[in-house]
Structures are given as structure tokens and as C-alpha cells.
Amino acid sequence: MRTIKKSKKLDDVCYDIRGPVLEKARQMEEEGQKIIKLNIGNLAVFGFEPPDEIVQDMIRNMGNAAGYTDSKGMFAPRKSVMHYTQQKNIQGVTIDDIYLGNGASELIVMSMNALLNTGDEVLVPSPDYPLWTAAVSLSGGIPRHYICDEKADWFPDIADIKNKINANTRAIVVINPNNPTGALYPDALLQEIVDLAREHQLIIFADEIYDKVLYDGHTHTSMASLADDVLFITFNGLSKNYRSCGYRAGWMVVSGEKRHAKSYIEGLNMLASMRLCANAPGQYAIQTALGGYQSINDLVGPGGRLTRQRDMAHKLLTDIPGVTCVKPKAALYMFPRLDPQMYPIADDQDFAYQLLAEERVLVVQGTGFNCPTQDHFRVVFLPNIDDLEVSVGRIAHFLEGYRKR
């Protein structure tokens, strides 16, 4: 029999958040072991429930949601996204510029598939949310990673971006607020990236899915509000701000210099048509979510559950000898660094595997986010305070043993 092989297209595609370490965790759970999961930003399973009005509205609309919708999405939710872009000062967005998707994920892949030819390059942050790197590779492009500098609050290194732009560069991805670092970029820095994009005619892919998960009173600026002469594709959705990952409701907004992008937009329209439409119940949730009470603010404000968990996890982690960590200003993650002198890690996937096997704590290794060195891991601070305390205690215990090896 001929062996059945995966497509060569997948040779360079990697998505380690759901990789081999998670597989091991699954096996351990099947054997009855209890694992504390610090590996994935899935809010609802940690008791962060979506706003009740969204759930009730979806239930009420279920009877109307059995048919396909327009391939870009229903009018009312797209209109509410349009109003949202107005609130964020993004100019000139019409209903036609808005695409609803089965989460932002589907649209991220679509946006790359519609754009890239073999050998085209896209600037992607390192570390990144790895779907971006994977989507560029899957679409035949080459991800060129630009440094986000830990010593500078994980901000993108403009000099490095400049160095990596060449004749094949088509676009730059900016994830702000950032997963996995929790960074939030200042306007001046965003403006510098916009200016570079203008100069080199790059498209800006702005992933802003955590734009309401902001601590310490910070505010968020949508990159697309900073210029109307650069093409922006902005991604957002209900998964994080409204704790509704499973509803698979996301959107993408095309704005700015659209006049020269007619062919690309045709490509987007074709791919949107080919997948027929996003799930209709999720679409119904969008309008209610955007127009309703923004309960995320209660979670991220002073004393809110997410704020308390961030503070606690950060303190406990940075109390461990040899562990440093930039305190996140936004999102659900932190990306601690292990001093390589104290913890000489040769293979960080193996490190995460051992931590899981010995301490029943699941994290994702830094290289899973295209981090070039082996000295980071990502922690999701969603488990409740007690579980966070236990899990960071176990990480400390594991690291103590690691030092002695």
C-alpha cells in the first residue's frame, strides 16, 4: 500500500499551542491525573462566563439561524462592527469592508491565502501568536520574524523591522495587545510602523483581539485610526473581550488605502464565498455583544478577577530565583524568562514536557511562539487564585530540581 503523506504545503507549518505536549496532557488526564492548565486562553472553561445577554440572544435567535447567510455576514452584526470601527476612530469603513468569520482565525488564514505568492515575505513578530507564522507559510509565503525586545517592554524593534524589509516584503503583522507577551504598544511606536508601511507600501495586518483586555487604566489605539493612506486589515472578535471562544465569532475590517487593492479585495471576497458563511448563531451574538454592557471592564479594573490573577501570578513567578517577567499591561498571558545560566535548557519543548510529567502543570514553550531562544515559556493566568498559587508553586519546585541537575 502507498503511504499517505501530508501535503508538502504543511512542511513549514507549525502550531505548537496544540502540539505534542498537549497530547501528553490528554493521555495523563485519561489516566485520571489532574492537570493545571496554563496553556490556552480559553476563558469560559475557567469560569469567565460570557455576558448572559449574548447567550440569551443566541438562544432566542437559534430558530432563525439555520440558513446560510451572506458570505461576508449578516447586515446587522456587520453594521454593529462598523459602529465599533467608528468608536475606534477608523475612518471610511462601509458595511462592504467588513467580513465576519468563524473566529478571527479563519479570517487570518483567508487574508494570507488571498495575498501571497510563493516567495512573498510577511513581517511577523517574534514572539508571535503562531497562527500568523503558520498562515503565512501555508499560503506559500515566507514569515520574516522581527524582534520584539524584552528589554524594551517587548516593543517591536523598529531598526530590526527596517533591516528586514526588502523587495519581496508585502505586509507586516502587528499583534497589539500582544499574545504571548501581554505588551501594549504606545501610539508613537504604532505611528512609526505605519510610516514604514507607507514608505514601503506594505499592508498592515492589525490583530487587535485583546483590545478591551487592558489593565491599570490603559487605553487602546487601533492602528487603522492612524492613517488613511495605508491599507489596513484589522482583526477582532468575541472570543476574548466577551469570553466566547467557542461561539467562533470574529471579524476583519478592510480600511485605509483601498483604491489600489481592488484585486486583493476580490480575492478576499472569493475566499469568503467559498466557505459560504460564518456560523449564523455566532453572528447573532456580535450585535448584542458590541451594543451591550461591557462586563470585561469589571474583570480588568482595580480589584477585578483578571487583575488580581495577573498580579498574583506575576509576583509568584518573579519571586522564583532566576525568573524575570515583564508585567503584562493587557491580554491574558505572561512570557517569563528563565536565566540561562541557572537553567541551561537545550530543548524547551522537552522542558515543558518534563514540567507536565513531573508536576502536572501544562505551559507552552517559548519556541512554540517562534521565540528564537530556549529560555521562555508562556503562562495563561486564567485559573483561579488557588490553582495559580498551586501551579506556580509546582513550577518553583520543578525549577529548584532543574538547577540541581
On the 0-12 / 13-18 / 19+ scale of CB atoms within 10 A, 260 is: exposed
| Structural contact between residues 224 and 256, judged by C-beta atoms closer than 8 angstroms | yes
Which of 73, 143, 250, 368 is the binder for ligand PLP (CB under 6 A)? 250
Q: Are 132 and 110 in contact (CB under 8 A)?
A: no
The residues facing 37 across adjacent strands are 362
Per the listing, cell 439561524 goes with 65
Residue from 112, 175, 320, 371 binding ligand PLP (CB under 6 A): 175
**Binding status of residue 231 toward ligand PLP by CB under 6 A:** no
CB 178 within 8 A of CB 156: no
Task: Give the residue with the Cβ less far from ligand PLP, 242 or 398.
Answer: 242
How many chain residues bind ligand PLP (CB under 6 A)? 13
Q: Which of 69, 85, 105, 367 binds ligand PLP (CB under 6 A)?
A: 105
Torsion of CA 163, 166, 171, 172, to 10 degrees: -10
The reply on whether position 281 binds ligand PLP by CB under 6 A is: no
Q: Is 176 in the site for ligand PLP (CB under 6 A)?
A: no
Q: Rule CB under 6 A: choose which of 69, 176, 181, 239 binds ligand PLP.
A: 239
- SS3 category, 78: helix
Among 61-69, 102-110, 150-158, 377-385, the segment contacting ligand PLP (CB under 6 A): 102-110
Share of the chain residues as helix, strand and coil, in percent rounded to the nearest 5: 45, 15, 40
As beta bridge partners, residue 256 has 231
Q: Can you tell me which of 36, 58, 93, 104 binds ligand PLP, judged by CB under 6 A?
A: 104
Cβ of residue 179: shortest distance to ligand PLP, in angstroms? 4
Torsion of CA 68, 70, 71, 74, to 10 degrees: -100
* Contact between 41 and ligand PLP per CB under 6 A: yes
Binding positions for ligand PLP, rule: CB under 6 A: 41, 103-105, 129, 175, 179, 207, 209, 237, 239, 245, 250
